[in-house]
Amino acid sequence: MGMTLTEKILARASGQPRVQPGETVWAKVDVLMTHDVCGPPTIGIFHEQFGKSAKVWDREKVVIIPDHYIFTQDEKARRNVDTLRAFASDQQLPYYYDVGTERYKGVCHIALAEEGHTRPGEVLLGTDSHTCTAGAFGEFATGVGNTEAAFVMGTGKLWLRIPPTLRFVFEGALPPYLMAKDLILTVIGTIGVDGGTYRALEFDGDGVYSLSMEERMTLINMTIEAGGKNGLINPDQVTIAAVKAKTKKPFEPLTRDADGSYLKEYRFDCRTLEPLVAKPASPDNRATAREVEHTKVDRAYLGSCTGGKITDFLAAARVMKGRQVKVNTFVVPATSDIAKGLETHRVDGQSLKAIFEAAGCVIGPPSCGACLGGPLDTLGRLNEPMVCISSTSRNFPGRMGDKRAQVYLASPLTVAASAVRGEITDPREFLA
């Protein structure tokens, strides 16, 4: 019997010829990532446990990316970035992306990929639930807490239980009105927000391999919304080319065995799927956009690791070009590279930035922004009960601010169409 990709990666990382679901292993970590919310407490635990003058196990493997609370007057948020800066300097960390400098990136999960830190076959742990995003590159990636991250900082390893694997096969290329967001909302709507708990989610089928790297990241990013431990796509030539374009570091991809054992397999035909939303207040509260069309919205939001990449903005711009939004609409690029890309990427000759500005959108600086609410002065935060349609990942009560607010999750195409109409709208209305 062969192994799934998750099993193969964790077997190699733990020095075992093979592993089986249910086993606990000590896995070596290739990259540990932290940010401004979980970094300072992680650093606190690291010094408490390993000593005031302790050094990280491998400074080439610790990546620190401030991204959560950046454009705020919150003094403590600034203090937290100071803590990261001092630690990076003291430890001489080469991969610290400081606020207020040319190196500043923005949302860590996207920045990791832009900077070549996501590599097939490796183990990446991060103090953020959406760390799973890097599984799009064919590596084992999952979120950890501060205590675990501090342990990894000192030792380079962590105990992990080998999860059983669920397999999701998407057949057929996506029609132009569907995006990876619709695929993952299909999965979450099918298995529920707890259907992947303690499990790996692997994705397959020509529908998945036809996706760009950014779209693959969206798909895997929300595996945590099904409770998944990690998500994975077998690396192919698209993956390898994308990684080699970003890093000269050597890496050894692994691919799943043909006869690996899966707990359960789900098959979907992309040609029969429809644009979806997740209604308030759970990512598994699935409906088609058409089932809830004419639902009035007060705000639209495009941003975050889930929905703030160039592909996401190209899709939204296709809908918004030559049109006006009817509700307050926020465009928050995930990273500074993407922010620059808004000026260089074009639809029908017009830059994304020009299209969004002409449509009446507010463009914000790159960060996690209002996806998780954040400090009260965060741009786009839902500071009162209102209805918002968003390309972000999570809509539990209070996620984007006020706990009485109602958030609908949808693809950037559906968010853009809804912004133009001021009510939830299937994007096919705008795509000729």
Hunting for tokens 């949302």 — which residue is that? 107
Q: Is residue 84 within the footprint of another protein (CB under 8 A)? A: no
List the interface residues with another protein, window 296-355 (CB under 8 A). Answer: none
Kind of pairing between the strands at 299-303 and 328-332: parallel
Q: Is residue 181 within the footprint of another protein (CB under 8 A)? A: no
Q: Is residue 49 within the footprint of another protein (CB under 8 A)? A: yes
Q: Which of 22/176 has CB closer to another protein?
A: 22
Among the listed residues 3, 5, 10, 43, the single contact to another protein using CB under 8 A: 43
Q: Is residue 145 within the footprint of another protein (CB under 8 A)? A: yes
Please list the alpha-helical segments (H only) found in 290-385: 304-307, 310-320, 336-344, 352-359
CB of 31 to another protein, least distance (A): 15
Please name which of 361, 295, 290 lies closest in space to residue 326, comparing C-alpha atoms: 361
CB of 236 to another protein, least distance (A): 28
Give the C-alpha separation, 380 to 401, whole Å. Answer: 9
Q: Is residue 147 within the footprint of another protein (CB under 8 A)? A: yes
Among the listed residues 109, 394, 421, 428, the single contact to another protein using CB under 8 A: 394
Q: Which of 147/212 has CB closer to another protein?
A: 147
By rule CB under 8 A, what string of x and - marks binding of each residue 351-380 to another protein? ---------------------xxxxx----
117 vs 18, 155, 333, 348, CA distance in Å? Answer: 26, 20, 20, 33
Specify the stretch interacting with another protein by CB under 8 A; choose among 88-96, 149-157, 209-217, 415-423: 149-157
Give the C-alpha separation, 284 to 223, whole Å. Answer: 12
Give the C-alpha separation, 107 to 91, whole Å. Answer: 23
Q: Is residue 20 within the footprint of another protein (CB under 8 A)? A: no
Among the listed residues 346, 397, 429, 431, the single contact to another protein using CB under 8 A: 397
End-to-end CA distance of the chain: 49
Among the listed residues 87, 137, 151, 203, the single contact to another protein using CB under 8 A: 151
Q: Is residue 144 within the footprint of another protein (CB under 8 A)? A: yes
CB of 325 to another protein, least distance (A): 26
Bridge partner residues of 431 (DSSP): none
Q: Which of 77/183 has CB closer to another protein?
A: 77
Specify the stretch interacting with another protein by CB under 8 A; choose among 182-190, 256-264, 271-279, 393-401: 393-401
Total binding residues toward another protein, as defined by CB under 8 A = 59
Under the rule (CB under 8 A), what is the footprint of another protein? 24, 26, 28, 37-38, 40-41, 43-45, 48-50, 57-58, 68-69, 74, 76-77, 79-80, 83, 127-129, 131, 143-148, 151, 154-157, 161, 193-194, 197-198, 224, 227, 229, 282, 372-376, 394, 396-399, 403-404
